[in-house]
Amino acid sequence: MSTKTLKAEPRNITGKNNCNRLRQKGLIPAVVYSHGKSEAINIQEKDFFNLFKGHISESVIFDLHIGGEGDLMAFVKDFQRDPLTSKIIHLDLFRVTKDEKIKTRVPIEFIGTPAGLKVGGILKHGEREILIHCMPKNLPEKITIDISALMPGESIHVGDIKHGDDIEILTNSNTVIVAVDKKRTDVEAQASTDQADAEVEAESGKE
104 touches 132 (CB < 8 A):
yes
* Residues of the chain below pLDDT 50: 1-2, 186-190, 192-193, 196, 200, 203-204
**H/E element, 22:** helix 16-24
CA distance 75 to 93: 6
pLDDT at 94: 94
pLDDT at 85: 87
pTM over 0.85: no
27-47, pLDDT tens digit by residue?
999 999 988 889 999 999 999
Location of each CATH 2.170.120.20 domain in the chain: 104-187
| The domain over range 4-96 is classified in CATH as 2.40.240.10 | yes
CATH number for region 104-187 = 2.170.120.20
pLDDT at 193: 45
55-58: long-range contacts, CB 8 A cutoff, minimum separation 24: 56/88, 57/105, 57/106, 57/107, 57/141, 57/142, 58/104, 58/105, 58/106
3-class DSSP assignment, residue 206: helix
CA distance 141 to 48: 17
78-89, pLDDT tens digit by residue?
999 988 888 899
Beta strand residue intervals within the chain, DSSP E:
4-10, 27-34, 37-44, 62-66, 72-81, 88-96, 102-111, 122-125, 129-134, 143-146, 154-157, 167-169, 176-181
**H/E element, 36:** none
pLDDT at 116: 92
116 touches 180 (CB < 8 A):
yes
Dihedral of CA atoms 164, 167, 168, 169 in degrees, nearest 10, equals -90
Location of each CATH 2.40.240.10 domain in the chain: 4-96
pLDDT at 123: 93
